[in-house]
Amino acid sequence: MGAALRRIRATGAVVYCQVPMVAHVNDQADTWTQLWRAELAVGAVPYYMFVERDTGPYDHLKVPLARAVEIFHAAYRALPGLARTVRGPVMSTTPGKVIVDGVESRPDGRYFVLRMVQARIPPWSVGPSGAHYDTSAAWLSDLELAPEVPLDLRQAVRP
């Protein structure tokens, strides 16, 4: 892989890496830390940690969002500054790319902090919103969205 990547980079191209998190394969923080450090070592840019899509043999491969957030933050903390270009966990959904920035406590309970990284409808990318924290949720449609999420976005998530 190193020689091919060097040839690609020699053209002036920048190589960005994005990988899905798959249960039983790469659902440990140290696996991600090693991957991102290896990408950086060969001149690639760690970009996205994706959540496994809700298609195909999904039940066996999914990682709950609560666990994905823990894995991401533990791996991220172990990275050098140059590798902190990575974002995640990210869901590539019908409305757009949604990042789970973390978990916060509010007076009425815990919430996932959600942000549209890319939205099909630009006003949806305005700022952070949330969803009720649920340890079993593994996809955007599994979540109960917070009241501040625009109605049209709610309807796009659950048509």
pLDDT in tens, 7-17: 999 999 999 99
| Total tally of structural domains belonging to the chain | 1
In this prediction, residue 159 carries a pLDDT of 59
The reply to whether 3 falls in a domain is: no
Q: pTM (2 decimals)?
A: 0.89
The reply to whether 8 falls in a domain is: no
Determine the Cα–Cα distance for residues 159 and 109; give it in Å rounded to an integer.
26
The reply to whether 9 falls in a domain is: no
The reply to whether 7 falls in a domain is: no
| Burial status of residue 106 (CB atoms within 10 A of its CB: 0-12, 13-18, 19 or more) | exposed
In this prediction, residue 59 carries a pLDDT of 81
Residue 52 belongs to domain spanning: 14-157
Regions of the chain short of the pLDDT cut 50: none
Q: Which long-range contacts (CB under 8 A, 24 or more apart) does 129-133 make?
A: 130/104, 130/106, 133/66, 133/103, 133/109
The reply to whether 6 falls in a domain is: no
